[in-house]
Amino acid sequence: MRQQRIGVIGWLLHFDSPYGVTVAACDTNKEKLSAFTAKHPAVSAHTDYREMREKADLDAVVISTPNWLHQEMAEYFLRQGIPVFLEKPMGVNKAEIDSLLRTQKETGVTCAIDFEMRVSPGIVRARDIIAAGEIGDVRGIEFVHHRGAWLARGNNVWRTNPELSGGLFFMEICHEVDIFRQFAGEITHVQSFSMPNVLPQYPDTMPDNVVTHLWFEQGRRGTILSTHTSSAHPAPPDRYDDLGHDMYIIVTGTEGAIRLECIRQKILVCKYTEYHPDADRGARVDFSRLEDYSSQKAFFHDISANHEAFFKSCALGEPHHQDLADAWKTHVACLAAERSAIENARRIEVKYEID
């Protein structure tokens, strides 16, 4: 095992662990780049990612740039034989995500997408509870998120342009779709409903509110609600409840359910018990326990853990915990769900085919 020499692009992070250390940084913002290298003088500075590849001795790169640059940059490094850790999404449309998957298959070089929820403590704990059989067989899963709107100004200006961001699902909901696939299996059909957009910075091709229904191979069902229209600004975390911000996942099983409070960092575990011994049928949802993780860091989005898992896999020559083909399937399901919302709630079969 050798500590990997890491190049970072866009989000200038200094890694230093047994598995990886930042040796080069790239950003077009020279002031930001200078401030970073002033703190870390051993790191070389570059304003062009190709120059960074030519001048720095790299074992892997972490790409955290605006979405429309993801596919181009990732493919460049894969063709150079450099493993890539890429912020989601893989691209901004079907052609781009297909191209990246083809390139990865042709080169055989690792490309990991930052679906960090898979290694985040809250999701790991929920997965363990399910695996232990506490709630029986999974029958359904739901996600609810009321969040503040994106403003079409400053660094956020590109987020509300689907041609640059990939759309609402690629920007936000892809994380939940990925976890749904891990908890409930492969998605076969989707259907998305949305009100007419009310926030003027969101174009008609990017819903500011959406409810998506998902069907899975095993007969399970899923629901996702994501809206940007009812959470007041400004909203410090300690006032989220008062100002309309919430975020939670519920997994329903045959013998009980769990509710994962992403913001409050708690997991409620319930069991289904006999309601009355004289009744022919019926069950009651009984409290089992409440697990409190409010003091834990990165409960729901542990990006650092996913970075470290990637560096470790590179250092040991082992596969990353999620290969690119699996991450690509999450993207395909997201594209279908967003298309359904745009096309007046048409039910769409999810086809996992490269165009």
157-199, pLDDT tens digit by residue?
899 999 999 999 999 999 999 999 999 999 999 999 999 999 9
pTM of the model: 0.96
Dihedral angle over CA of 136, 140, 141, 142, nearest 10: -140
Which residue type, as a one-letter code, is found at position 195?
M
Chain mean pLDDT for the chain: 96
The three-point CA angle 334-338-341 to 5° equals 145
Region 44-56: mean pLDDT is 97
* pLDDT tens-digit series, residues 346-355: 999 999 999 8
Residue 277 pLDDT > 80, yes or no?
A: no
User: What's the confidence (pLDDT) of residue 279?
Assistant: 79
**Residue 15 in this model has a pLDDT that exceeds 80:** yes
Query: What pLDDT score was predicted for residue 152?
Result: 78
List Cα–Cα distances, 116 to 143, 298, 308, in angstroms.
Answer: 17, 10, 11
Residue 119 has a pLDDT of: 96
DSSP 16: B
Domains of the chain: which residue ranges? 4-116+304-318, 117-300+331-349
Residue 322 to residues 56, 83, 92, 173, 209: CA-CA distances in angstroms?
28, 14, 20, 18, 29
Domain 117-300+331-349, second-level architecture: 2-Layer Sandwich (3.30)
User: 4-116+304-318 belongs to which CATH class?
Assistant: alpha beta
pLDDT of residue 154: 78
Q: Using only C-alpha atoms, what is the Rg of the chain?
A: 21
How far is 149 from 147, CA to CA, in rounded Å? 7
Per-residue pLDDT at 327 exceeds 80: yes
**Measuring CA to CA, which residue among 281, 282, 258 is closest to residue 268?**
258
pLDDT in tens, 74-98: 999 999 999 999 999 999 999 999 9
Nearby residues of 149 by Cβ (< 8 Å), 6 or more positions away: 199, 201, 202, 208, 228, 229, 231, 233
Q: How confident is the model at residue 144 (pLDDT cuts 50, 70, 90)?
A: very high
